[in-house]
Amino acid sequence: MKNYLKIIFLIFIFIHNGLTNAESILIQNVTIFDGKTNNPYVGNVLIEDNKISRVSSSNMRGDKVIDATGKILTPGIIATDTDIGIVEIGALSVTRDDSSDLYQIGFSIYDAFNPNSVLVPWNRSNGITSAMTLPQNTDSPIGGLGSFFVLDSNLQVSGIKDNVMIGRVGGSGSKSRSETFAIIEDLLEFASSLNLKDMESYKDIADLIDDSPIAESMDLHPRDIKALYNLVNDDLPLIISANRASDLLKLIDLKLKYDLNLIIMGAQEAGLVADKIAKNNIPLIINPINNIPESFDELAANIELAAYLEKQGITLMFNAPRSHNFHLIRQGAGVAVANGMSYAGALRALTSTPVEVFNLGDRGEIVAGKVADLIIWDADPLEPSSMPEKVFINGKDIDLTSRMTRLTDRYIKNKDKPSIYRN
Amino acid sequence: MTKLIKYSFLIFACFIEANPFESTYEPLPSENILIRNANIYDGEGNEFKETDLLIQNRKIMALGKDLPVSDDFLIIDASNKWVTPGIIDIHSHMGVYPAPGVSTSADGNEATSPVTADVWAEHSIWVQDPQYALALKGGITAFHILPGSANLIGGRGVTVKNLQRNTINSMKFPDAPHSLKMACGENPKRVYGNRQQAPSTRMGNAAGYRKSWIQAKAYLNRLDEYEAKSDEAKEIGYAPQRDFEMETLAGVLRGEILVHNHCYRAEEMATMINIAKEFDYKITAFHHGVEAYKIADLLAENNICGALWADWWGFKHEAYDMVQANIAIVDQALGGKGCAIVHSDDAIGIQHLNQEASKALAAGLRAGFDITKARAMNWITSNPAKAAGIYDQTGSLKVGKNADVVIWSKNPFSVYAIVEKVFIDGATAYDRSTNFQPASDFDVGIISPEKNRIEE
């Protein structure tokens, strides 16, 4: 009986919270970079429930009004290439959930995501409101599934499971890249032969593996085969890390042959084949601050790459060193602008473009109807010295406290007490 | 510092006639230059608006309004632009971990024994590393190349001018002292612990340093005894046999070689200070020091600089407690007596040390400190110059110093500031307007035969 009461009570709470309109928030007189169009404008943004309900230069009312005169409002930054939530400390393997010994193509990190990671408030306090979290590359040149996560610290994780596959091509030190391309082709040939009916029973898939030389020799599992099926039948975005110009061209051939939803990451030599990338509408994820010819695949690395690719009409997104240092993405974007990229283009690369490329739902832009993931900045967001003053996720005004702000306070405030008794 | 150099030369003189590793650096051809009407951070904590800077005979000759010059001076109008001293990075592995990062040139860690005080980073440097030229475009005029952190005592570091040459000697910064790289914490204990040898723990690390210093003390005593002998006695006696490891450690004990100590955790830095006191040597700077803010006063009391990142963290457990105000807290210790340095340890970071300083400054201001941009400029100019032992020659725009100067398109604390010109010893090393820039042999014809690797 008691349990029934509990359940009824919980249902009541749920309905109550679900139906009661949270108070609306009006951000007034703010300079809006909407993440889409080229020119900023001064206006007002009304947040109701979890959505942007109105954007206008005319007066509006809100339950709560935030005067943001002189401040800049942007959509929350959407990270494209992180291990947020699955790696707590890089060199500590017990805190890493980004690799599998058994699965390759179908390895998913979704169930490992930790909303309580310190990386979540840290990245949020730097203006990153949602992220694609990707596993390490697997033993297969294509494979490993990334997921999209909203960085709201809610233990009830919200995001999109397994919405992207990753892969890599390039100099490896052990085998020819020609073998890598052959494996990819064999896998895609195999995938193209699969049909929906084959996917229905575990036993059927296991039989298919036995019949396929490539699947069998790679020790693939039914989980891997399902991922391959989704890749070729569900238009699953495929992010391949590759840099050398000749590799980029080969990937374009594969995209055309197998109708892949291809995104290329790294792409340090994209400038050498920019016309073909543009012609085939292949979006790129580049790190605009990385001009180091770190390998023989990246000889053309150049600080002006972002500006050049933008001029060729190529769709660009950015990445930065994973998770802990992903905040450097704004510095990278600023460096791209300092070296010739358009300001609006750099902001799009951080906001609306990932949404379009990866189908991340109604977010990434400041227009009515979109999810209210918004940042009010204390100054130009592409200056790395700037920081968010306010962060909204799903329309909620998020507390910007992080472990870093707590530790800072510990060592600059109340110094009369031993540090262990401070805050 | 010059005195130190003379003394160190004396040690060498006991053994060898001349120092074959001495700098043979020669500056590029130069002119006398008047940089007119610039906004200036002088690297001494001062800001001057619309001021002239006079460079004559490769030196800073004057700073002031409306300086008169004769007709033969090259006049550069720097209205609305900013001028700073050449930027200096106290922690670089360019040359010893060059690009491309291939195993055949990864020469920064002699990870074959936990103490390799005998190795010198300068003997690993690849002069054709394409990264120097990239750093030059970030305003870097000098940098300190250290061995890596695999070892407790990793060997000697060297300061070089950022002018690529075909020999190491001709890149070495004249009269700059060597450093000794030491490393705390996870790296040495991981590298050797994984091989089932000492050290495998932090206490093993501490024992390892102390054992070495005991040997070094004994060696130094023998050396002192020998040197105290009369010339006649020296002729009939035997000089202590040369020992590269001991020569380096004795150089530290004599104050001629500067200790640069990779160390993240607060308590480990404090332990290293104890060991330095036990054996009577000085630690010049702790590097990386992600937890330096926890013992900022202790560092200031001991005149130890913190060579730190603005916000790089999390790659290992000892780098987990990062705060963005770390550099500012170290700077402001004991009422502003701290010594803060922004370092890179990274071939990308070294190109943007101004931006790193900008982030560190902004975090300091948010934490409530009152720090000027002019002071924050010291973090990437005079403070690293002091830690490298070259402050008498460079690191600020004091009259009489080498004319190592950068002209920026905008205030260098902005991400949009681009380096327009770099002068090293009064000579143009980089000029964006005329596309005058160095390219290493590596860059030549490597993608397409008729071009250099990067052509802007």
Say if residue A251 is in the same domain as residue A387: no
Q: pLDDT tens track of chain A, all 423 residues?
A: 455 555 554 454 444 444 445 799 999 999 999 999 999 999 999 999 999 999 999 999 999 999 999 999 999 999 999 999 999 999 999 999 999 999 999 999 999 999 999 999 999 999 999 999 999 999 999 999 999 999 999 999 999 999 999 999 999 878 999 999 999 999 999 999 999 998 988 899 999 999 999 999 999 999 999 999 999 999 999 999 999 999 999 999 999 999 999 999 999 999 999 999 999 999 999 999 999 999 999 999 999 999 999 999 999 999 998 789 999 999 999 999 999 999 999 999 999 999 999 999 999 999 999 999 999 999 999 999 999 999 999 999 999 999 999 999 999 998 888 888 887
Total domains in the fold of chain A = 2
pLDDT > 70: percent of chain B: 96
Q: Which of residues 379-418 of B touch A (CB under 8 A)?
A: 413-418
DSSP letters of B12-47? HHHH-SS-TT-----PPP---EEEEEEEEE-SSS-E
Q: Which of residues 290-309 of B touch A (CB under 8 A)?
A: 293-294, 296
Residues of B in contact with A272 (CB under 8 A): 447
Local confidence band at B455 (pLDDT 50, 70, 90 cut-offs): confident
Say what the pTM is: 0.95
On whether the CB atoms of residues B385 and B88 are closer than 8 A, the answer is yes
Task: Please tell me which residue of chain A has the smallest CA distance to B101.
Answer: A294
Quote the Cα angle for A205-A208-A213, to 5°.
Answer: 135
Chain B interface test: which of A84, A87, A411 (most B C-beta within 10 Å) = A411
The CA distance from B362 to the nearest CA of chain A, in Å, is 5
**Is residue B63 included in any domain, yes or no?**
no
**Is residue B8 included in any domain, yes or no?**
no
Q: Closest by alpha carbon to B339, among B394, B270, B386, B372?
A: B386
Distance CA B170, CA B151 (A): 28
Asked whether the beta carbons of residue B454 and residue A407 sit closer than 8 angstroms, the reply is no
On whether the CB atoms of residues A169 and A141 are closer than 8 A, the answer is yes
The CA distance from B173 to the nearest CA of chain A, in Å, is 25
On whether the CB atoms of residues A253 and A181 are closer than 8 A, the answer is no
Question: CB of B352 within 8 Å of any CB in chain A?
Answer: yes
Chain A interface test: which of B105, B294, B318, B323 (most A C-beta within 10 Å) = B323
Quote the Cα angle for B235-B241-B243, to 5°.
Answer: 145
pLDDT score, position A16: 45
Residues of B in contact with A331 (CB under 8 A): 352, 355, 359, 415
Distance CA A404, CA B322 (A): 6
Question: CB of B358 within 8 Å of any CB in chain A?
Answer: yes
Of B186, B313, B325, the CB nearest to A324: B313
Of A296, A302, A337, the CB nearest to B100: A296
Identify which has the larger pLDDT, B13 or A51.
A51
Helix (H, G, I), strand (E, B) or coil at B156: strand
The CA distance from A396 to the nearest CA of chain B, in Å, is 24
Question: CB of B186 within 8 Å of any CB in chain A?
Answer: yes
B324: its two tokens: 């963005």
A26: its two tokens: 């009006």
Chain B interface test: which of A294, A412, A416, A422 (most B C-beta within 10 Å) = A412
For A227, the domain range is 77-363
Give, for A276, the enclosing helix (H) or strand (E). helix A274-279
Say if residue A349 is in the same domain as residue A220: yes
Local confidence band at B17 (pLDDT 50, 70, 90 cut-offs): low
**Is residue B247 included in any domain, yes or no?**
yes
Model pLDDT for residues B270-318, shown as the tens digit of each residue: 999 999 999 999 999 999 999 999 999 999 999 999 999 999 999 999 9
**Is residue B437 included in any domain, yes or no?**
no
Mean pLDDT of B390-396: 98
Of A119, A292, A300, the CB nearest to B131: A292
Distance CA A267, CA A285 (A): 7
CATH number at residue A5: 2.30.40.10
Local confidence band at B226 (pLDDT 50, 70, 90 cut-offs): very high
Say if residue A39 is in the same domain as residue A134: no
Burial tier of A251 (Cβ tally within 10 Å: 0-12, 13-18, 19+): buried
Quote the Cα angle for A59-A128-A294, to 5°.
Answer: 140
Domain boundary among A348, A363, A378: A363
Of B99, B366, B418, the CB nearest to A293: B99
On whether the CB atoms of residues B306 and B340 are closer than 8 A, the answer is yes
Distance CA B439, CA B134 (A): 9
Give, for A12, the enclosing helix (H) or strand (E). helix A2-19
Task: Please tell me which residue of chain B has the smallest CA distance to A298.
Answer: B100
Q: Is residue B173 left, alpha or beta, with left meaning phi > 0 and alpha meaning psi from -120 to 50?
A: beta
Give, for B284, the enclosing helix (H) or strand (E). strand B283-288
For B371, the domain range is 87-396
Helix (H, G, I), strand (E, B) or coil at B429: strand
Of B321, B347, B416, the CB nearest to A292: B347
Chain A interface test: which of B186, B315, B342 (most A C-beta within 10 Å) = B315
Distance CA A400, CA A101 (A): 37
Total domains in the fold of chain B = 1
pLDDT score, position A4: 57
CATH number at residue A151: 3.20.20.140
> Which segments of A298-351 does DSSP mark as H helices, in order?
305-311, 328-338, 343-350
Domain boundary among A318, A342, A363: A363
Asked whether the beta carbons of residue A296 and residue B348 sit closer than 8 angstroms, the reply is no
Say if residue A69 is in the same domain as residue A101: no
CATH number at residue B218: 3.20.20.140
Residues of A in contact with B379 (CB under 8 A): none
Distance CA B346, CA B99 (A): 11
> Which segments of B279-381 does DSSP mark as H helices, in order?
296-301, 326-331, 333-336, 353-366, 373-378
Say if residue A51 is in the same domain as residue A85: no
Of A290, A292, A338, the CB nearest to B416: A338
Local confidence band at B147 (pLDDT 50, 70, 90 cut-offs): very high
Mean pLDDT of B58-76: 96
pLDDT score, position A19: 47
Question: CB of B361 within 8 Å of any CB in chain A?
Answer: yes
Domain boundary among A363, A379, A413: A363
Say if residue A259 is in the same domain as residue A177: yes
Average pLDDT, chain B: 95
Say if residue A88 is in the same domain as residue A182: yes
Say if residue A303 is in the same domain as residue A421: no
